[in-house]
Amino acid sequence: MRARLEESWTVESWGIDCQHLLYQDLSWKDGKLLLRIYVNVQLLYINLGRKHGNDGLVPSQIVFDVISKLLLSSSNIPKFEAKDIHPSLINYNMQRARSLVAFVLLALSSSFASAFDPSPLQDFCVAIKDPKDGVFVNGKFCRDPILATANDFSFSGLNIPGNTSNKVGSNVTLVNVDKIPGLNTLGISLARIDFAPYGGLNPPHTHPRATEILVVLEGTLYVGFVTSNPNRLITKVLNAGDVFVFPIGLIHFQFNIGQTNAVAISGLSSQNPGVITIANAVFGSNPPINPDVLTKAFQVDKNVVNYLQKQFWVINH
């Protein structure tokens, strides 16, 4: 089937299967225009995505451009056949029908539409004008479900204690989407935290993309977090079997106050929660933060800042 939109533009030129994409008809009833529209948005994404080399994914703007050309570029709106797709029924007057249709289809054109921005899975995403030069960064590309195996959903090793022979006396074994590919898009990950006796510390840090819930398996931990300004400190001593929650983005810590090793398991509400260790970020950044900035921020002598910036800041994971 061939639908003429402009002299040099046809639906076929976009590689769309018209028979399964869109159908609408116009009729009059009680002085009003009755416009019936059938849209299979998922198929539209697949067809346009293949056409543009995006493996079935296509930006919403391209979808909208195609549909708006179908509906708005000529006075004679083209008609297509449709099979097994659900209708949307719109009643409106002739003068405003097309603008309303364009608005509705724009809303339908993204299968990921939501009322708020999705939580980011990276620190930033630099926008580009040409999608062919970019990558899909808010998550990972997906394997064909038919090819998935049990190994994609499993990990072995959390029974093995982490090496705590470092300056902070702790070790974090993180099980995120890089360890279990099946976690992709599921919004969850796991970590084992080992603490050396007599002061093993998981130093103050934040998870910019996740809330953390921690359960103590062995030992005694002093844990806490600091709220946003005015910076209220909330702490508790935990023993084996106790659970504590650290809200997303807040600075928190765990400190072994016992005389034996301590072990805890943390669940995190992101497949890639991220971690910012405060001391490492402030004094161990690369390149270093200007000492004058830190001197004024911490209200200490500049020699103290210079000393701290020269230290080797341990990463315990």
Per-residue pLDDT reduced to its tens digit, 270-303:
999 999 999 999 999 999 999 999 999 999 999 9
pTM metric for this prediction? 0.63
Annotated binding-site residue? 317 = no
**Gap between the Cα atoms of 297 and 293, Å rounded:** 6
Lowest mean pLDDT among 70-84, 120-134, 167-181, 276-290: 70-84
Q: Does domain 162-309 have CATH number 2.40.70.10?
A: no
Annotated binding-site residue? 52 = no
Pairing assessment for the beta strands 251-256 and 262-268 based on DSSP bridges: unpaired
- Judged against a pLDDT cut of 60, whether residue 47 lies above it is answered with no
Annotated binding-site residue? 218 = no
Annotated binding-site residue? 138 = no
Give the pLDDT of residue 144. Answer: 78
Q: Residue 85: exposed, middle, or buried by beta-carbon count in 10 A (0-12, 13-18, 19+)?
A: middle
pLDDT band at 13 (very low <50, low <70, confident <90, very high): very low
- And the tokens for 88? 């949307």
Annotated binding-site residue? 86 = no
Considering 41-55, 145-159, 190-204, the range whose residues carry the highest mean pLDDT is 190-204
Give the pLDDT of residue 69. Answer: 54
**Which SS3 state, helix, strand or coil, does residue 154 take?**
coil
Give the pLDDT of residue 268. Answer: 97
Q: Which of 304 and 115 is assigned the larger pLDDT? A: 304
Q: Between vectors from CA 171 to CA 162 and to CA 176, what angle results, nearest 5°?
A: 90
Give the pLDDT of residue 224. Answer: 99
Residues 128/130/131/134 CA torsion (nearest 10 deg):
-50
Question: How confident is the model over 6-15, as a mean pLDDT?
Answer: 38
Considering 90-94, 185-189, 283-287, the range whose residues carry the highest mean pLDDT is 283-287
Give the pLDDT of residue 77. Answer: 42
Where in the chain do CATH 2.60.120.10 domains reside? Answer: 162-309
Question: How confident is the model over 254-262, as a mean pLDDT?
Answer: 98
